[in-house]
Amino acid sequence: ETGVTQTPRHLVMGMTNKKSLKCEQHLGHNAMYWYKQSAKKPLELMFVYNFKEQTENNSVPSRFSPECPNSSHLFLHLHTLQPEDSALYLCASSQDQLSSYNEQFFGPGTRLTVL
Amino acid sequence: KNQVEQSPQSLIILEGKNCTLQCNYTVSPFSNLRWYKQDTGRGPVSLTIMTFSENTKSNGRYTATLDADTKQSSLHITASQLSDSASYICVVSNKAPGGTSYGKLTFGQGTILTVHP
């Protein structure tokens, strides 16, 4: 295991539902990331938190709302999603965002299906 | 625009055979290139990282090469095993521009490798 856990592993929701994805890292890292992975497309960076401060929002629609209460936990709150939001959502962590040499450790992902 | 292109999109080989995956990039200024392996149902795991001055780096049966002049990298897998079936992702980082403290990652779309017995 990579030391990064994500729950739930699978989620099916309707377009009017509100749900949250949770990520927890046990590596003592200070940077955490949310990615979207769609079939046959490169990973898309959504949000970055460095020392609990949001440092990147990659033009993500407001129906996705991140929350980082501390350096070990990261949430992604979902509301009024669209079917095209169905994808694998990956969480990652790294020592910090100060060096691109820092390896990112990924969780197993949450497979999200929006009906 | 920074881009990373991987080929082939998918590859099927027999167990025990060798294979080579390709990665071409236009990321500039270049900082480092990393290969990840992503098993089905799991997140990516780093295999190797190479900087500008490194031509080759090995990790067991995986050998990555880098030609910074032509902006190409390859991942060679020797004596493939069934457990090598996965998606292999090439990720290139640029150097932090002046005024910021970190570079950006550009991901390739991945090569799906299937190893048959």
pLDDT per residue rounded down to tens, chain A (115 residues)? 779 999 999 999 998 889 999 999 999 999 999 999 998 899 999 999 999 999 988 899 999 999 999 999 999 999 999 999 999 999 999 998 877 788 999 999 999 999 9
- At B86 the pLDDT is 98
- At B102 the pLDDT is 64
List own/partner pairs for A11-16 with CB under 8 A and 24 or more apart. Answer: A11/A110, A11/A111, A11/A112, A11/A113, A12/A112, A12/A113, A12/A115, A13/A78, A13/A81, A13/A112, A13/A113, A13/A114, A13/A115, A14/A114, A14/A115, A15/A80, A15/A81, A15/A82, A15/A83, A15/A114, A15/A115, A16/A80
B26 min Cα distance to partner chain A (Å): 15
Residue B100 has pLDDT above 60, yes or no: no
**How confident is the model over A73-106, as pLDDT tens digits?**
999 999 999 999 999 999 999 998 877 788 999 9
Task: Give contacts of B 3-42 with A, CB under 8 A.
Answer: 4, 9, 31-32, 34, 41-42
Chain A residues touching B32 at Cβ < 8 A:
100-101
Closest residue in chain B to residue A106, using alpha carbons only: B43
* Residue B75 pLDDT level (bands cut at 50, 70, 90): very high
Mean pLDDT of B6-21: 98
Residue B10 has pLDDT above 80, yes or no: yes
